[in-house]
Structure 1
Amino acid sequence: MKGISIFPGLDYSVRENVNYMERAFRNGIEYIFTSVHIPEADRKRVKDEFDIILTEAEKRKMKVIVDISKGFFDEFRWEDRRIYALRLDFGFNDNEIVQLSHKYNIQLNASTVTEDWMKRLMESGLNVSNLTVCHNYYPRNNTGISLELLTERNRFFKEAGLKITAFVPGGEFRRGPLYEGLPTVESHRNVHILACAQELLYAGTDIIIIGDSMASEKELEALGKLENGKWLLPVLLFEKAKEIYKGFLIQEHTQRTDVSEDTLRSEKIYKDKTVEVFNTGIRAAGTVTIDNKHYGRYAGSLQIVKKELSADYRVNVLGFVCDGGLLVEKIKAGEKFTFYPV
């Protein structure tokens, strides 16, 4: 499940935000995250635009998550608005959280909630059937959480039967005032959206939301194509490789069951035509290669390199997986994968 973020009163007009919502909807994206308590936002615009966003989301049957702190909560009549969940940020005490859980679907901050606090809320009467959790995003560089912490927290939430949301940064259009991306995990800040999203899924996250306030058409399309159980690898191809092998690469591939130490090997072999020699350079980790005609019966074999290998006149370099080293090692024996040219 996938989502976008829309922030009234900030970088984009309400018309631009509605157009963005429509583009996301066309790419199969079903969630919208928004916040009505950002300090830098124009308060008048927030109030004017918020209901328009809710109305337009309802037309498309998109689910809206609203981030709110205690100081701004009473500015809105929540019972009059159709929202999927209220994400309760700072300022709410235990008793207020418990009471709200009996009136609305609520989300708690997955990045800061502790097991002890959750147990205390449950003992106080928290309505767990109306509860999900949502990690923070982190606008300032070097402040995001580690993947290890996210995985640890997610493990606890999964055991509690809670649905988990987290954020990936946009690549092209970043939200002000810092414009440094809005990831949950710090190591994702400058990595391709597909790599970030799939690492979050691998760590047990259920809903992936683009944190920044606008994503490119290419990013929306890429996120929309993600499917559970199939790895989608962003790949930068050399032009000649794209001309000849793009159709082969975007087919569904399967990691061989006899997993190689040095490379990920596809079960599928390219057989359309003779693989002529070109671009037989050094193979860094993440390099996508195909064996050429000089490798005899191995010609047409497709690999992704796991560690640096020297040049081999029998192996053509097609391009590079743009995953920041996050995905290839996670693909297990017999798992499906395909390539997404960027």
Structure 2
Amino acid sequence: MSGVLVSLTEQSLDQTMEYLSYMQLNGFNSIFTSLQIPEEDPQELLEPLTQIGRFALGHNMLFMVDVSPRTFNHFSLQQLKDSGVTGLRIDNGMEIGEIAGLTHEWRVALNASTIDQAFLDGLRGEQANFASLEAWHNYYPRPETGLELAAFQNQNRWLQSQGLTVAAFIPGDGDLRGPLHEGLPSLEKHRHLSPFAGFLELVHECFVDHVLIGDLSVSSWTMQQFQAWNEGTVLLGVENQRPSHVWESVHHNRPDIARDVIRSEEARQHFSGSILPEHTVERPTGALTIDNDKYLRYCGEFQIVLHPLPADERVNVIGYVAQRDIPLLPFLHKRRLPFRFLATTSYCE
């Protein structure tokens, strides 16, 4: 499952609804917002909350709201239910017995970073309905306060072993949320990483079941990558692209995984003919290369360079992976995810 965060006050309600419609059409099926932002006036929140809740209900989307005991000074549980809220994300401040009681009527998410065995044992002792429980990490607006990777992975592995699904946030790369506008990741290493790279790492390396975009929008390029992912491929941007037959194909790394390069399993199967030596220059990380006639039977071999390699008169450089997509290469290499290309700039000498 993937989802989006929306603010009840930082954008107009019309902007928010337009964004939700767009994201829902592109496969995002959950919505998250907070009712415990100190700067927000509770009296201004009920109308946007209700409009968003109606949209979620009409499109079969999960609508999860961040709450604390202070929230219930302004909203009753019945008001939240009537507004279309389907789940409560509880950060801290509530007693175990209160949380256990909520699980019999609500989908309840706990703070994934602070759950321990004693807490879960306490919930079991209070007869909590574990089928309604999930574990959702925080997002961290302040730079340098996001979570550390190894501890995050270990915690998530343990949470899943306890039967809990895990959710976490990646930053957007469009309109960033206040008050700092510096990204809303769960992992600090994702703060300045492309959202799609963060998404792949959470899903494939971090034992995360649900990924939500923490900021208010994503760029058109990131959206294209998520659309391609929904269709089954990883989309890579290409710079300084030269003509080649490889651009129109979907590729996989060969199962006999090489150390220095990603080798297309498909390229040589679909090629016969001659390739003259051209642009046989040094090959930095992300260089896209094709072997020319001088490489004899390897002519047509298509590779993505993982570690800088010297120039070779037998190897033509036909483009470069866009810098922001370099972090995607390990997932194509070891996990052999299918990939294809889209030019981001036209070639100029």
Give the TM-score of the pair, scaled to structure 2. 0.87
Distance 1:316 1:32 in 2: 47
Three-state SS of the structure 2 residue aligned to 1:284 is: coil
- CA displacement, residues 142-188 of structure 1 (integer Å, 9 cap, x when unaligned): 11112212211111111112211111111132111101001111111
1:236 corresponds in structure 2 to: 238
Contact between 1:277 and 1:316, CA under 8 Å: does it hold in 2?
yes
Three-state SS of the structure 1 residue aligned to 2:285 is: coil
Deviation, 1:21, is: 0.5
- CA displacement, residues 254-277 of structure 1 (integer Å, 9 cap, x when unaligned): 221221111121211152764444
Letter in 2 for 1:257: P
Deviation, 1:105, is: 0.7
Distance 1:135 1:334 in 2: 25
Equivalences for residues 35-54 of structure 1 within 5 A: 35-54=34-53
Contact between 1:144 and 1:185, CA under 8 Å: does it hold in 2?
yes
Give the TM-score of the pair, scaled to structure 1. 0.89
Letter in 1 for 2:264: S
Deviation, 1:300, is: 1.9
Change (3 A) 1:297 1:50: same
Letter in 2 for 1:226: W
- CA displacement, residues 87-121 of structure 1 (integer Å, 9 cap, x when unaligned): 11222121211111122110001122223322222
2:292 corresponds in structure 1 to: 292
Pairing 1:88–2:101 present: no
1:138 corresponds in structure 2 to: 140
1:338 corresponds in structure 2 to: 339
Three-state SS of the structure 2 residue aligned to 1:140 is: coil
Deviation, 1:320, is: 1.8
Deviation, 1:215, is: 1.9
Letter in 1 for 2:32: F
Letter in 2 for 1:52: Q
Q: Which of 1 and 2 has higher RCO (CA within 8 Å, sep 6+)?
A: 1
1:217 corresponds in structure 2 to: 220
1:319 corresponds in structure 2 to: 320
More displaced 10-residue stretch of structure 1: 183-192 or 84-93: 84-93
Change (3 A) 1:327 1:91: same
More displaced 10-residue stretch of structure 1: 110-119 or 25-34: 110-119
2:347 corresponds in structure 1 to: none
Pairing 1:122–2:120 present: no
Equivalences for residues 1-342 of structure 1 within 5 A: 1-10=1-10, 12-76=11-75, 77-202=79-204, 203-226=206-229, 232-240=234-242, 245-248=246-249, 251=250, 253-269=251-267, 271=271, 274-317=274-317, 318-320=319-321, 322=323, 326-331=327-332, 335-341=336-342
Letter in 2 for 1:320: V
Distance 2:277 2:144 in 1: 44
Contact between 1:2 and 1:223, CA under 8 Å: does it hold in 2?
no
Distance 1:120 1:340 in 2: 51
Change (3 A) 1:210 1:340: farther
Letter in 1 for 2:186: T
Distance 1:295 1:183 in 2: 46
Contact between 1:194 and 1:233, CA under 8 Å: does it hold in 2?
no
Pair member with larger Rg? 2
Change (3 A) 1:118 1:284: farther
Contact between 1:275 and 1:299, CA under 8 Å: does it hold in 2?
yes
Change (3 A) 1:315 1:43: farther
Letter in 2 for 1:312: D
Distance 1:221 1:40 in 2: 34
Aligned Cα root-mean-square deviation (Å) = 2.5
Three-state SS of the structure 2 residue aligned to 1:225 is: helix
